[in-house]
Structure 1
Amino acid sequence: MNLKRSTFLTGITGLLIPYVCTFTSIALSPWFSWSKNALSDLGRSMESNVAPIFNLGLVIGGILIYQYSISLSNYSKMLTHYFLAFSAFLLVLIGV
């Protein structure tokens, strides 16, 4: 697999994992309501039985997006990959 393809797959996977884990957590939580709860309620470890799924999805997604942003620095001279790396870092912090 060449480097550009693996970089692309890392970016796509980094975007999909948080969404899949979030919607899986919602599907497994009959108490969750879009009108009464915030998404962060799914990540409360003391109150939610799906918190590990939700939080792990955010952390893994953040790590993959961070790797993707570092890979982008090899292809681009623009500074946007720094902002993407910082956003990925914040996503990991939300999951922790």
Structure 2
Amino acid sequence: NDYGKNLGFKINDELVAINGKALVSDNFNEVINDYKKNTQEGDKITITIERLKKKKKSTITLKAKATKAEKTIPYFIEINPSATLSQISLRKAWLGE
């Protein structure tokens, strides 16, 4: 995405850490969820990556301000908690209830 490009990500970069927290398979979800929960738009962030340059890995720290990104979820269906009686009736018919 544009944010990643502006931050300086390149194809095949490997994430090593976010805001100083190491990313490994055992804690990946924990670190990402902590980032989502505790990072506000405009906060300064650092992302440490490893990049292969001339057959040698280099550790690079990318810095930027956090921004919100729109996420598209294709074919996402959820129940509307504010559905009208007509909509509820249609939903029940569709679900065979």
TM-score by length of 1: 0.24
Higher RCO structure, 1 or 2 (CA under 8 Å, sep 6+): 1
Structure number with higher strand proportion: 2
